[in-house]
Copies of this chain bind each other. A is one copy, B any other.
Amino acid sequence: MTDDTGDNGATRPSSPASRKVYFVSDHTGVTAEVLGHSLLARFDHLDIETATRPFINSRERAAAVLEEFTKLPRPPIVFSTITDPAIRELLSTGAETHLDLFGPFIKQLESSLGQQAATRVGAAHGIRDLGRYQARIDAVEFALTTDDGSNSKRYGSSEVIMVGVSRVGKSPTCLYLAMQYGVRASNYPLAEDDFERSSLPAPLAPYRTKLFGLTIDPGRLHELRSKRRPHTEYASAERCAYEVRQAEQLLRRHNAPFLDVTNVSVEELASQVLLRADLARHR
The residues of A with any CB-CB pair to B shorter than 8 Å are 1, 3-6, 8, 10-11, 19, 27-31, 33-35, 37-46, 52, 54-55, 77, 81, 83, 96-97, 99, 101-102, 104-106, 108-109, 111-113, 115, 117-118, 122-129, 133, 136-137, 140-141, 144, 147, 169, 171-172, 175-176, 179-180, 263-268, 270-272, 274-275, 278-283
Q: List 25 A-B contacts (CB under 8 A).
A: A1-B129, A3-B283, A8-B278, A10-B279, A10-B282, A31-B35, A31-B38, A34-B35, A37-B283, A38-B124, A39-B105, A41-B123, A41-B128, A42-B102, A46-B113, A52-B281, A55-B272, A97-B109, A126-B264, A127-B263, A137-B172, A137-B266, A140-B175, A141-B172, A179-B179
Residues on B with beta carbons closer than 8 Å to the beta carbon of A169 = 137
The oligomer's copy count stands at 2
A77 near B5: Cβ-Cβ < 8 Å: no
Do B5 and A125 have beta carbons less than 8 Å apart? Answer: no
Question: Which residue in chain B gives the minimum CB-CB distance to A79?
Answer: B105
